[in-house]
Amino acid sequence: MVAVAFTVMCLIFGTTFLAIKIGVEAGMPPFLSAGLRFIIAGALMFAWMWMKGKVNLSLLWRKEMLLTGAGLTFGTFATLYWAEQYVSSGVGAILSATGPLMIMVMQTALLRQKTSARMIAGCLIGFAGVILVVLPGVSIGGNSLWLWGCIAVLVGEVCYSAGALYSKKVINQFKEANPVAINAVQMMYGGLLLSALSAVTESWNTTGLDWVPAVSSMIYLTLIGSMVGHSLFYWIMSRTNPLFPATWLYISPPIAVGLGAVLYNEHVSWITWLGVALIVSGLLAMNEKVMGWLGKRSRSNRMVQGSKPVVK
């Protein structure tokens, strides 16, 4: 189940960089676009969980949800949406791929967790693959806003990494709460922070807005990117560790390249395929211990429950 969920999550997240770019280029204010996306997605998910009796309303008032939303949603997407006004979706994807590496560094430096040479090598190999996949198609602009856009994405990944580590702690703290409900609440908080930022920094004038791509981007990012993709992320994290689900950031650039080749007849060189091979190799190297842990857990569940099916 984890492998299937991880595959679907990677496919979804791999398309979101282009969807964000489409919405921003259609004239949608970046912070407002991101804020509405996460408020709507979080509210719909929370209402669904509440109607099924799987969430307590008291979860809405926990400061831990606000802190998680500030890192995973607000910090990550405020920077990414703003940056995609000035950098391509490919640049956004390659810089976002620093997330797993930053998580590994934080785990080692701040949490004093031991990191094996295999994990370090896997991160570096995977990131080298990302560069090979995206770099041939990246056109570097000459103005300072391009550089600030790149810096913004990297700052967002610092927020993302801190949020991912903290959210694992929150999931363990609120074991009685469904991970989907936790995700819904943190998205609402993140969306409210994004909307507040939009209110003081952006004009909400719809003049010049290209409605069809703007609305299409919003719907796709809300329903598929946020409600489905982020719920899968939380579900996987609750069953593995903060680093494993974050490795989708190594898979998204090849997906972006594939979309370009299929939809826009973009050329895919042998360098791109070499990059894909490096990404997969790095991913396998990083997560060998995680997959071994999952296997042990599965065998342990079967031993404890006997002939009863394991409920995922």
> Mind listing the pLDDT tens digit for each residue in 259-312?
767 765 656 677 777 877 887 787 777 665 444 544 444 444 433 334 333 332
Cβ 250 vs Cβ 126: under 8 Å: yes
What value does the CA radius of gyration of the chain take, rounded to a whole number of Å? 19
Of 12-21, 61-70, 113-122, the poorest mean pLDDT is in 113-122
User: pLDDT tens for residues 94-150?
Assistant: 788 778 778 877 877 777 777 777 777 887 888 888 777 766 655 554 567 888 888
Q: Is residue 6 part of a domain?
A: yes
CA dist 84 and 146 (Å) reads: 9
Cβ 187 vs Cβ 228: under 8 Å: no
Of 92-106, 187-201, 240-254, the poorest mean pLDDT is in 240-254
SS3 84: coil
Structural domain of 54? 2-202+215-303
Q: What is the mean pLDDT of the chain?
A: 80
The model's pTM is: 0.80
Rounded to 5 degrees, φ, ψ at 110 are -95, -40
Q: Residue 37 pLDDT > 50, yes or no?
A: yes
Q: Is residue 112 part of a domain?
A: yes
- pLDDT score, position 65: 93
CA dist 150 and 84 (Å) reads: 9
CA dist 153 and 157 (Å) reads: 6
Q: Is residue 210 part of a domain?
A: no
Share of the chain above pLDDT 70, in %: 85
Cβ 126 vs Cβ 55: under 8 Å: no
Q: Is residue 209 part of a domain?
A: no
CA 129 vs CA 58, 82, 184, 249: distances in Å: 44, 26, 33, 12
Long-range pairs for 143-147 at CB < 8 Å and ≥24 separation?
143/86, 145/85, 145/86, 146/86, 146/87
Q: Is residue 51 part of a domain?
A: yes
- pLDDT score, position 235: 82
Cβ 202 vs Cβ 28: under 8 Å: no
CA dist 213 and 25 (Å) reads: 9
Count of structural domains, the chain: 1
As a whole number, mean pLDDT of residues 197-219 equals 89
Q: Is residue 312 part of a domain?
A: no
Q: Is residue 178 part of a domain?
A: yes
Q: Is residue 7 part of a domain?
A: yes
CA dist 122 and 229 (Å) reads: 24
